[in-house]
Chain A
Amino acid sequence: MSAENIFSTLEEKFGAKRETLDKWGVTAVVSGAYLRNVVQFLKDSTEEKFDMLVDIAGIDYLTYPNHEGPRFAVSYAFKSIKTPGARIRLKVLVGEDSLKVPTISDLYANANWYEREVYDQFGIVFEGHPDLRRLLNHVEFVGHPLRKDYPAQKRQWLSTNDYLLPELEKRLETLGYKVIQRSKEVEPNDDEFLEGSVKA
């Protein structure tokens, strides 16, 4: 199945549009409601079988010149292992009022952490994600730093280090291990806040 065929099928079946700004012409703009169907179709029904998710990226169009439409976008890059060189990108436009995209972490396992990263940096919520927490920034971080209206040099201190053992124990229990001694969750302590903290 050639690229033209795939794009025409996407247009017919799911109402996708081909992105005109894309230099290589491999991007399709999909609506959020059809995203899971499109991804399922690309993974199972196409000849290439796009079985590798390369990246998920968030985009903020706030300061982009001559941009009309929703402020945010989430871009998915897929690659085929069977046919080397076959690539396709999907783009979902997200408005500032809704900020919701369906998750694809059940279709691609590595989407779990990509979606957490996009949530962390842009604040876009992935509906149905099993564990949507911050990935790169610390737990007490306020705001989403890769948004264009976040001041890039605004620094935020962390009062206590992340304690990951309770979560690890939960995960071990789901795998069938028995936890003999349970560790306690560490609560952030206001007295231990470092100098220059945003809270103080």
Chain B
Amino acid sequence: MGNEAGKPSIITSSLDFLVNWGRTNSLWPFPYGTACCAIEFMSTEVGRYDLSRIGSEYVRFTPRQSDVLLVAGTITYKQAPILKRIYEQMAEPRWVIAMGACASSGGFYDCYCTVPGIDHIIPVDVYIGGCPSRPEAFFDAMFDLQKKIKDESYMKQRAERVKEQIEMIKAKTAEAKANAKAFAQEKVVDIKDFVVEKEQNLVKKAQFWKE
């Protein structure tokens, strides 16, 4: 004992596997609780069910530090812009769980004030049924989300992002070039006009003095 820790050791793995392993096992939820589903989430979080067993240890009450937006409860039209803003404030990668009937489909509130499912506002990864959902259902959804994250490829996403950026840079440069060209042409035309005007003036002057 003791010596083992001091020895240098190497693990070979793919970056995708490593990144996904890190992401799956530290999903920090942001609880957007507006109704009774949030109470069920509380009981999922505490000792009897213990969500921290799968790494969702910290419930973060700021969108900037969380990975999963957990919408637990009814979303009214008055609240829809707030939910959208919170989703936009979250840093990528981000996932959304719609917990319970109300968040998934509006539930039995088929009326003028309730949004019929939060997928009208933001993209949703996992839906949970139930009114309210059981903690077991919530765990099931978390496992589904973990499976989904394991399928994602960090390198692929990165390559796509880089590709997009390169395309954007190309487009911008082309635009700038076109602008510069147009500007230069304008200048040339201006100078030509100026020269022509001067020549005409000179000719006029010459004629005047001749007379």
A interface residues, Cβ below 8 angstroms from B: 136-138, 145, 150, 152-162, 194-196
Contacts and interface: CB of A to CB of B under 8 A. Distances in A.
Given A194-B121, A196-B120, A156 B112 contact: yes
A162 B121 contact: no
A137 B120 contact: no
Contacts, number: 40
Interface residues of B, number: 15
A158 B80 contact: yes
Contact of B78 (A158, A194, A195): A158
A180 to B, nearest CB: 26
Interface string B88-125: 00000000000000000000001111011000110000
Given A138-B77, A157-B80, A194-B84, 11 more contacts: A152-B111, A152-B112, A153-B112, A156-B77, A158-B78, A158-B81, A160-B81, A162-B78, A194-B81, A194-B121, A195-B120
Most buried by B among A159, A160, A194, A195: A194
Given A137-B113, A194-B84, A196-B120, A155 B78 contact: no
5 contacts: A137-B78, A138-B77, A158-B78, A158-B80, A162-B78
B105 to A, nearest CB: 14
A65 B196 CA distance: 90
Q: Which residue, A145, A152, A158, has most C-beta atoms of chain B within 10 A? A: A158
B85 interface: yes
Q: Is the interface of A mostly helix, strand, loop or mixed?
A: loop
Contacts of A195: 120
A153 B85 contact: no
Interface of B: 77-78, 80-82, 84-85, 110-113, 115-116, 120-121
- Binding site secondary structure of chain B: loop
A167 B176 CA distance: 46
B130 to A, nearest CB: 24
A161 B81 contact: yes
A22 to B, nearest CB: 29
A67 B77 CA distance: 34
A138 B84 contact: no
Nearest to B83: A161
A122 to B, nearest CB: 14
Contact of A138 (B78, B85, B116, B121): B78
A137 B78 CA distance: 7
Contacts of A157: 77, 80
Contacts of A137: 78, 113
Nearest to A161: B81
B110 A153 contact: yes
Contacts of A150: 112
Contacts of A145: 112-113
A85 B143 CA distance: 56
Contacts of A159: 81
Contacts of A162: 78
Nearest to B78: A138
